[in-house]
Chain A
């Protein structure tokens, strides 16, 4: 791990240690290393010993804010390390009245974008032993030597279109900001899909969704899916059947996407979590694009005070019910 990175971890650890040991928070949600150098998994730290495991590197993709839903049942005050998307996820939960603001301390971590192991491994060609990072490049270290790759090209899909790497809400910012980014290609795939005929588009989604296992990882990882009871589990009436039929696949994914209209923060956790690689983010981005076009630009999760367009009514609403 680069020294620069160790310095950052030390800085984060010092900041949260004071609060955890001093009793300002009972629990810190952070990341620790998994079995592999390319996996950083959630850490639930309650002691100084736990904090020794704290990790902050280019693999901290898991969105931690969602864990607040469970952890606030057990703990009075919880600290969370938040990247840009984690902070927007927190605002999402706040707007849904799912978390009380005064029981959470947010530690802001401007995010350089998280790396995709599969991409790194493919780029390396032979067995990838480790990586280092320098000046916007990733150095891939293999048994056969070293190779360099452009860091932006090695990002997770979910991080490629990121516009807001800096936390929009925080109590304490721990690292220097990254600044807003441009994402000229954010809606490129959506536009390609829009350009298709209805039949082509249907065929595209039918094929994509045919892989769906109904494991609900997309829903469980999602910060807008915070309903205490999801329509999927409702028994009376029973909305969602278990058959792996196109109608049931569409039922789940389209209803879920509509529930996210104006609420999806575009964190991409759904797509990252999907074990069969369904391009779920495009469904969400289609709705983001539509909302922007119909109601004016709106970025969910950026400002908790700004009501999502579909949750408000204005007499001058641009889209009247009768319009086509």
Chain B
């Protein structure tokens, strides 16, 4: 099913969709764009190439309460949090959706699936948005992402100067378009043509990289690569494919909630064990873990590199220590054949 709407009528569509349940879309918040729930007067920024933080937040929230507890005397009462209303994610770019598919393999690809993640995934209709432009940090082309198409979307959307086109890909997507009624008009079969988006080419040689890295755990390159790392968690938190989490309580002994939240392998406490031993005591081991997880460990299990070329680490690392630098330092750069 193909539907079309004039660009100036989009706010009506957003208002309508948000009546059905939370509608997340790229909203300008101060100097950055973030996926946030729509509200009256929100400044929607569909022209932003990438949100500052990836929309993985929709499925693996930075904080997610799953249980309330209350304790009185020897009585302990635990109440699980009920699943929320159906959610619509509007304007997810192909690289970010590809990243969510990589997360699916982790959270849904084995028994038992992760119930919290599964519930959010099933509860969400994803309207993906093809990219009308790339910024200099985009290098998704290296990871088989097509900026014009997101195969895993419920609805694929394309934006032009004056209109937005929707094409349903799943039943869930078709139902959403149906339900929007008169707000959307039937779209002509021929869709508007767009110029191909050019992404950055860093001359990377990714084929065989995971295999080659098996022998590079003690490579001297690590001794240089980690040096500039500040040990903050920016890269892991803006990254669409990082998924480590921790579980904590908020409240006090008598009453509170248990939640899970993002954690980062860049933090010293991440692998610290009871008794104080830490198998990754310094920044070197932590930096190595982060990059090997993406480039070797994940591919060993799932046959794909856990990077989608969104470029957020290239943009946001305060000292420009990013995955491209790591790949190049570890033999992942194409060497010209003579």
Contacts and interface: CB of A to CB of B under 8 A. Distances in A.
Nearest to A244: B63
B227 A213 contact: no
B230 A213 contact: no
Contacts of A214: 233
A242 B224 contact: no
Contacts of A203: none
Contacts, number: 104
B319 A42 contact: yes
A273 B318 contact: yes
Contacts of B267: 216
Contacts of A41: 228, 319-321
B39 interface: no
Contacts of B202: 35
A120 to B, nearest CB: 12
Contacts of B248: 241-243
Q: How large is the interface on B (under 10, 10 to 19, 20 to 34, 35 or more residues)?
A: 35 or more
A242 B244 CA distance: 14
A81 B317 CA distance: 21
Interface string A196-227: 00000000000010010111110111000000
B77 to A, nearest CB: 21
Given A35-B324, A36-B136, A276-B52, A233 B269 contact: yes
B130 interface: no
B329 interface: no
A132 interface: no
Given A41-B321, A42-B319, A241-B248, A219 B232 contact: yes
A44 interface: yes
A82 to B, nearest CB: 16
A233 B233 CA distance: 14
Contacts of A244: 62-63, 261
Given A221-B230, A241-B250, A275 B261 contact: no
B107 interface: no
A276 B32 contact: yes
Given A245-B250, A272-B318, A213 B53 contact: yes
A241 B248 CA distance: 8
Interface string A274-289: 0111110000000000
Which of B34, B237, B318 has the most CB atoms of chain A within a 10 A radius of its CB? B318
What 3 pairs between A and B have smallest CB-CB spacing? A277-B31, A273-B318, A217-B232
A220 B250 contact: no
Secondary structure type dominating chain A contacts = loop
Contacts of B250: 241, 243, 245
Q: How large is the interface on A (under 10, 10 to 19, 20 to 34, 35 or more residues)?
A: 35 or more
A62 to B, nearest CB: 5
A34 B246 CA distance: 33
Contacts of A39: 320
Contacts of B232: 215-217, 219-221, 273
A26 to B, nearest CB: 14
Interface string B210-238: 00000000000000100110111110111
Contacts of B144: none
Contacts of A70: 283
Contacts of B325: 34-35
B30 interface: yes
B271 interface: no
A275 B316 contact: yes
B291 interface: no
Given A42-B228, A213-B233, A275-B234, A243 B53 contact: no
Nearest to B262: A213
Contacts of A44: 224, 227-228
Contact of A275 (B53, B62, B268): B53
A215 B317 CA distance: 11
B143 interface: no
Which of A70, A211, A275, A279 has the most CB atoms of chain B within a 10 A radius of its CB? A275
B122 interface: no
Interface in B154-210: 202
